[in-house]
A and B are shown apart, each in its own frame.
Chain A
Amino acid sequence: MSVTERQQAVRIEGLTVAYRRRGQLLRVLDDVSFSIGAGEAYGLVGESGCGKTTVAMSLMRYLPDNAVVESGRVMFGDEDVLTASATTLSGWRGDRMAMVYQDPGTALNPSIKVGEQIAEVYRFHKGMNRSDALAAAVHMLETVQISAPDRVVRRYPHELSGGQQQRIMFAMALATDPDLLVLDEPTTGLDATVEAEVLDLVEQLRTQFDASILFVSHNLGIVSRMCERVGVLYAGRLIEEGPAIDLFREPRHPYTLALLRCMPRMGMRKDVDRLDPIPGSLPPIGVDIAGCVYADRCPIARDRCRAEPPPIEPIAPGHGARCFYHEEVPGIPVLTRPPDEAAAATADGVLLKVDDLVKAYGSAGNQVFAVAGVDIEVGRGEVLGLVGESGSGKTSLAKCIVGLLDPSGGAIEFDAADVTSHRRGREARRRLQMVFQNPDNALNPSHSVRTILRRSLQLLAGVRGKDRQDALMDDLARSVRLEPRHLDVRPSALSGGLKQRVAIARSFAGSPSLVLCDEPTSALDVSVQAAILNLLVDLQRREGVSYVFISHDLAVVRYVSDRIAVMYLGQIVDVGPADAVFEAPHHPYTEALLSAIPTLEPGGKARMKLHGTLPSPSDPPSGCRFHTRCPRFLGDVCVNEEPPWQSTTDGERYRCHIPPEELARLQAEAEPTAREPDPAP
């Protein structure tokens, strides 16, 4: 898959970019070179802060004002984008090169109808008149598979769902049939099922348009699926590049290998496998590093690595890695030991019992039911995974349980005591805690870590007196692997992973019995996620605590959970032991969620499509709430009758009109109808 000189659509040569900040130049890209062939999709992966977006912006010359290109060229055809005149550039942008951004909600103008926004591209670049341009826009919307395009053109962006908005963005980007399409994390803000749809769309569009694509993402799975070649960025340097399959099957840079190893893969379980996190963290932006940028975190680094920067060592045609010792990489052992045998928590007795819980927002007559009758039980020492798209009511449910919201109906029983209201005693509060999604938000920026933990010890553990608090604080900090030096700083001085450790320590201050973890790792980079998941699993085993673990990442949920509940529009539709839920027969919605996971294995199985978008919880569909999108829709019975609970032989219960035996048969049939032939092994 080597790209010859002639076929190159874009060539980046030695790109070095710095940002000026308070008179200092902080280098974010250092000598980055790669090329994208005509019609090729090139994936650029890396963690936050590694310079991915700066590369994408350089390609379009959309760099912010304080960016300084220190050296390098971005060759588009035979002209340098970085030195092209403003008129040339504005002719190119939107015509020969186009970009799709991460957040379609802010990239579209909220006060102009989407049809006109697309038509504008035709009018500006193709010189069409108003009505022709609008007709072309409608046609383009058909191409990006929007249903009823002639109605959608008259809508404003806020009237469309996130997935539809992103389709509009694609329509605008592709309107002029560009030579280069830059996709900057195009699916990051979207739900898993919508993300899968958008990715399918990109794949289909690639057969119709022959644009070269730069696909920027932090998600290795997506990139491996979408791209032919992949580059891995680390601290502003391209550290490995090669064909997607080679790179993921046999990575030759220690960082690429570590990235692949630290992600929980589907089917990994906490009691069998341990995640392998990357020690250390990214070097701060703008720091001058003499040798290899990864040397500090690398298990095979030697003195030479710290002294001189490694060149790109060729491995195979088109595959290279910036590592002196790349031959040793496949032999790097897994860092962490398997989990301890001891203290395998067993569930005995029910700890939390939620009975027909309802949470409605708004006033009478105009109510939105975020939680519409949920029954769940959590056993002692058990981890219940809670899965569902955004808007399914997961967080509202968690907040009711923990006492941040008062439910509108139903009952919550915790260890045989009623905790339905948020007015509960200290004891209940101590034993029921929560870890929030975003540690930046969840820690008071004005307080030092010590103050944060001291307050929790005082109020939750009831420890008075500074000396006793300090003594306990050291233990608490050690239990989440914080060092004493981390105690006296404010949260802003800590990395995301360390912040989340502080948040976890805080919730464990009073030795809780049940901790609600609301997407505790989704704001973190994958390399940090592994360490936090390991910590949560360790704590759970040691303290025998129960979790309700909310996440949109099914692999993560499966890894940590003993049982899993799937939520859809405020109701539980599928619940049971983790393995049972993930295996057929399961609720068609669970099936769709599972099918939406982008895998690292190239050439996976056919994706199951969900029709339409999540209906509004203010006006839920009749009968089965899922019938409007269900791929296994039966007919009137789904529209008119609420589905019964069905039980499978492996202890799973789901809400559907299709009985388990038949569902098992249907779902077995739907197995691999391969989308394309498997690439060479």
Chain B
Amino acid sequence: MSAVDEPSVAGEFPDGAAAQVDVRRLRRQRRAELFAALRTSKTFLVGMLILIFWVVSALGWRWLVRSPQAVDTAATLASPSADHWFGTDNLGRDVFARVIAGAAPVLTVAPLATLLGLAGGTTLGLVTGYYRGWIDDIFSRIVDALLAFPLIILSVLVLASLGRSPRNVILVIGIIFTPLIARTVRSAVLVEREREYVAAARLRGERGPRIMVAEILPNITAPILVEATIRLGYAIFAAATLAFLGLGIQDPSPDWGLAIANGRAYLQIAWWMVLFPAAALATLVVGVNLVADGLRRAIEE
């Protein structure tokens, strides 16, 4: 499937005009192929639609719905109606407004935590995968130990000692993600480092850090991207769990995890207080996972 003419050895080139067009077309085609694959992937499109809905909600809830903090004392624990689509909570706050606004804390904490984990994990994965040796051995043992430890207990311990704040939630999730992402990156690096372009870089005297960043990293962006979207789904879930346990975001934030925790006491009489935030959380996690799945398949193709 060669796109370009082989120059003749005598040094006379065959007419290059047609080949020139071919090269440009091929380059465009390669780039377009991934997008074409994504455009035709129903999985990806549905996931993206859900994700966009929640991102718009997170950014624009101020203008889209009434204040999530507005208290309607006349209607506490009101069931869903035309006025309050999702009903009201025990303080008379509109559940619909709180569900829409609740996207904001989740979509702040989870992506930032993922980014933190991504930065740490990619660095660690590159270093351990490229250098191997004792660095790698030590790292692997630490990861093994960490994975043997229930992560939720770890985060409870850390948050209990550091204090409860969104910043600390981001920190905890990011730090827990670091070794997990590092493992994925490391295995991708292990494959790449054996390829001969890395040997060629060493032969011309490139230093380790440059080989990792300039030579290897651009060739493992695909698995990193997929890993990041998968982790984002987990991060959303983890943030909600911590909020539910009262370790993360605090009242009066409309956070979903928090809302579910609050609504638990009223489950018998006001199911809407739990159902709608839970459903919101579920759709967002499913949406992110659909995007991750579509992306993974498109890249594998």
Chain B hits for A433, CB < 8 A = 203
Judging by beta carbons under 8 Å apart, are B196 and A436 in contact?
A: yes
Of the candidate stretches B7-15, B60-68, B86-94, B128-136, the one touching chain A is B7-15
In angstroms, Cα B199 to Cα A441, docked, is 10
Q: Does B141 count as interface, using CB distance less than 8 angstroms?
A: no
1/0 per residue, CB under 8 A from B, across A473-512: the answer is 0000000011101100110111111100001001101100
Interface size class of A (residues with CB under 8 A): 35 or more
Interface residues of A in 491-535 (CB under 8 A from B): 492-498, 503, 506-507, 509-510, 527-528, 530-531, 534-535
Given contacts A284-B22, A442-B196, A489-B27, contact A495 B204 (CB under 8 A): no
Chain A hits for B9, CB < 8 A = 277, 279, 336, 481, 530-531, 534-535
Interface size class of B (residues with CB under 8 A): 35 or more
Partner of A284, one of B3, B10, B206, B218: B3
Interface residues of A in 405-447 (CB under 8 A from B): 426, 429, 433-434, 436-438, 441-447
Chain B hits for A490, CB < 8 A = 27
Q: Which residue of B lies closest to A501 (CB)?
A: B7
Q: Does A631 count as interface, using CB distance less than 8 angstroms?
A: no
Judging by beta carbons under 8 Å apart, are A481 and B206 in contact?
A: no
Judging by beta carbons under 8 Å apart, are A481 and B7 in contact?
A: yes
Judging by beta carbons under 8 Å apart, are B14 and A486 in contact?
A: no
Chain B hits for A426, CB < 8 A = 205
Q: Does B251 count as interface, using CB distance less than 8 angstroms?
A: no
1/0 per residue, CB under 8 A from A, across B4-29: the answer is 11111111011010011011001100
Judging by beta carbons under 8 Å apart, are A285 and B1 in contact?
A: yes
Judging by beta carbons under 8 Å apart, are B6 and A531 in contact?
A: yes
Q: Does A460 count as interface, using CB distance less than 8 angstroms?
A: yes
Q: Does B215 count as interface, using CB distance less than 8 angstroms?
A: yes
Partner of A495, one of B6, B196, B197, B201: B6
Interface residues of B in 179-215 (CB under 8 A from A): 195-197, 199-206, 215
Q: Does B2 count as interface, using CB distance less than 8 angstroms?
A: yes
Partner of A296, one of B4, B14, B30: B14
Given contacts A280-B6, A493-B4, contact A506 B200 (CB under 8 A): yes
Chain A hits for B204, CB < 8 A = 429, 455-456, 459-460, 506, 509-510
Chain B hits for A332, CB < 8 A = none
Q: Does A38 count as interface, using CB distance less than 8 angstroms?
A: no
In angstroms, Cα B218 to Cα A262, docked, is 38
Q: Which residue of A lies closest to B204 (CB)?
A: A459
Q: Does B219 count as interface, using CB distance less than 8 angstroms?
A: yes
Q: Does A403 count as interface, using CB distance less than 8 angstroms?
A: yes
Q: Does A402 count as interface, using CB distance less than 8 angstroms?
A: yes
Chain B hits for A22, CB < 8 A = 33, 36
CB distance from A457 to the nearest CB of B (A): 10
Chain A hits for B5, CB < 8 A = 279-281, 495
Chain B hits for A373, CB < 8 A = none
Judging by beta carbons under 8 Å apart, are B20 and A485 in contact?
A: yes
1/0 per residue, CB under 8 A from A, across B31-46: the answer is 0010010000000000
Main secondary structure of the interface of A (DSSP, over half): loop
Partner of A436, one of B22, B30, B36, B199: B199
Chain A hits for B30, CB < 8 A = 492
Q: Which residue of B lies closest to A276 (CB)?
A: B9
Partner of B2, one of A284, A296, A436, A441: A284
Chain A hits for B206, CB < 8 A = 455, 459
Chain B hits for A535, CB < 8 A = 9
Q: Which residue of B lies closest to A433 (CB)?
A: B203
1/0 per residue, CB under 8 A from A, across B242-259: the answer is 000000000000000000
In angstroms, Cα B195 to Cα A304, docked, is 47
Chain B hits for A483, CB < 8 A = 7, 13, 16
- Find the residue from B11, B204, B205 having the highest chain A CB count within 10 A: B204
Partner of B8, one of A279, A441, A489: A279
Q: Which residue of B lies closest to A538 (CB)?
A: B9
Chain A hits for B19, CB < 8 A = 485
Q: Does A282 count as interface, using CB distance less than 8 angstroms?
A: yes
Judging by beta carbons under 8 Å apart, are B11 and A481 in contact?
A: yes
Given contacts A459-B206, A496-B2, contact A335 B196 (CB under 8 A): no
Q: Does A376 count as interface, using CB distance less than 8 angstroms?
A: no
Q: Which residue of B lies closest to A506 (CB)?
A: B200
Judging by beta carbons under 8 Å apart, are B2 and A336 in contact?
A: no
CB distance from B24 to the nearest CB of A (A): 9
24 contacts between A and B (CB under 8 A): A277-B6, A279-B7, A280-B8, A282-B2, A284-B1, A335-B10, A336-B10, A404-B203, A433-B203, A434-B199, A436-B196, A441-B196, A445-B219, A446-B218, A446-B219, A459-B204, A483-B7, A493-B4, A494-B4, A497-B6, A498-B4, A503-B200, A506-B200, A534-B9
What 4 A-B pairs have minimum CB-CB distances, sorted nearest first? A495-B2, A446-B218, A279-B8, A442-B196
Report which A residues bind B (CB closer than 8 A): 22, 49, 277-282, 284-285, 296, 335-337, 399, 402-404, 426, 429, 433-434, 436-438, 441-447, 455-456, 459-460, 481-483, 485-486, 489-490, 492-498, 503, 506-507, 509-510, 527-528, 530-531, 534-535
Further pairs besides A279-B5, A528-B6: 5, Cβ < 8 Å: A336-B9, A483-B16, A485-B19, A493-B4, A495-B2
